[in-house]
């Protein structure tokens, strides 16, 4: 097996990577589209993943030619989705990996397109877990002017961690996120949702079905202790 670059810092996306929010977003977006007799097809859904909420809403409104403004669309979505955010669970393998790396003092960060308000709603039940991260950069960060697929969010995160981009490993579920990580000069592991075609992720350095498959040793990170069970949140 070839040896990957030495990784010193790890950066995670949030939606669809740490937390299982993407099916919820897809369901709510489709419910709103149905009100206007429209359907969000698979191609459009793939384009939406990983983007800032305003960018996603603009893409839906423009592509489906909805008779609403982006602001009105977001108001409709917020009226539905916030009641479900606190019930979104972690995805398989995420808690084990983040706790493992924290125990070995590997700096970790979250770089999410979610703005502060939805981020707080999604993570409120997981405060102890999210205290493991040394840095969290959200979609409404004052320094962030361009969202994924532009590399800005990852470069900001690396700078705040004091990390060299080439020593950062990014975990992403979206094509936009993979493109952003690559543009930032970072290594990236893709963990697409089951609905996505793994062949579309050819730009990722690795493609996994879940983070339960991740092997830290390949990236010269501390090996898992096989005797320790995954902690709960």
The answer to whether residues 65 and 179 touch, using CB atoms and an 8 Å cutoff, is no
For residue 72, which of 28, 32, 44 has the smallest C-alpha distance?
Answer: 32
13 is catalytic: yes
The answer to whether residues 139 and 191 touch, using CB atoms and an 8 Å cutoff, is no
In Å, how far are 4, 78, 203 from 187, measured between CA atoms?
Answer: 9, 34, 10
The conformation of residue 146, written as its DSSP 8-state character, comes to: S
Which entry of 15, 55, 152, 173 is annotated as an active-site residue?
15
In Å, how far are 59, 62, 219 from 215, measured between CA atoms?
Answer: 36, 41, 8
Total Cβ atoms within 10 A of residue 60: 24
CB-based burial, 204-220: b 16+ in 10 Å, e otherwise: bbbbbeebeebebeebe
The backbone torsions φ and ψ at residue 171, rounded to the nearest 5 degrees and listed phi first, read -110, 125
Q: Does residue 149 have a cis peptide bond before it, meaning omega lies within 30 degrees of 0?
A: yes
User: How are beta strands 108-111 and 135-137 bridged, if at all?
Assistant: parallel
197 is catalytic: no
Just list the catalytic residues.
13, 15
């Amino acid at each position: 097996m070839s040896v990957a670059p030495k990784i010193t810092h790890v950066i995670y996306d949030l939606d669809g990577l740490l937390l299982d929010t993407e099916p919820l977003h897809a369901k709510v977006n489709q419910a709103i589209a149905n009100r206007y007799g429209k359907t969000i097809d698979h191609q459009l859904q793939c384009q939406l993943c990983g983007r800032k909420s305003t960018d996603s809403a603009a893409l839906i409104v423009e592509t489906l030619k909805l008779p609403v403004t982006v602001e009105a669309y977001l108001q409709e979505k917020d009226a539905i989705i916030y009641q479900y955010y606190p019930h979104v669970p972690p995805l398989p393998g995420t808690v084990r990996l983040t706790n493992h790396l924290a125990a070995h003092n590997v700096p970790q960060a979250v770089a999410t397109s979610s703005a502060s308000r939805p981020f707080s709603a999604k993570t409120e039940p997981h405060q102890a877990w999210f205290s493991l991260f040394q840095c969290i950069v959200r979609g409404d960060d004052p320094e962030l002017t361009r969202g994924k697929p532009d590399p800005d969010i990852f470069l900001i995160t690396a700078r705040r961690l004091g990390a060299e981009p080439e020593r950062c490993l990014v975990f992403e579920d979206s094509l936009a996120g993979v493109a952003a990580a690559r543009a930032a000069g970072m290594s990236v592991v893709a963990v697409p949702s089951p609905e996505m075609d793994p062949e579309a992720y050819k730009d990722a350095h690795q493609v996994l079905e879940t983070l339960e498959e991740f092997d830290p040793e390949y990236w010269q990170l501390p090996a898992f202790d096989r005797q320790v069970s995954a902690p709960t949140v």
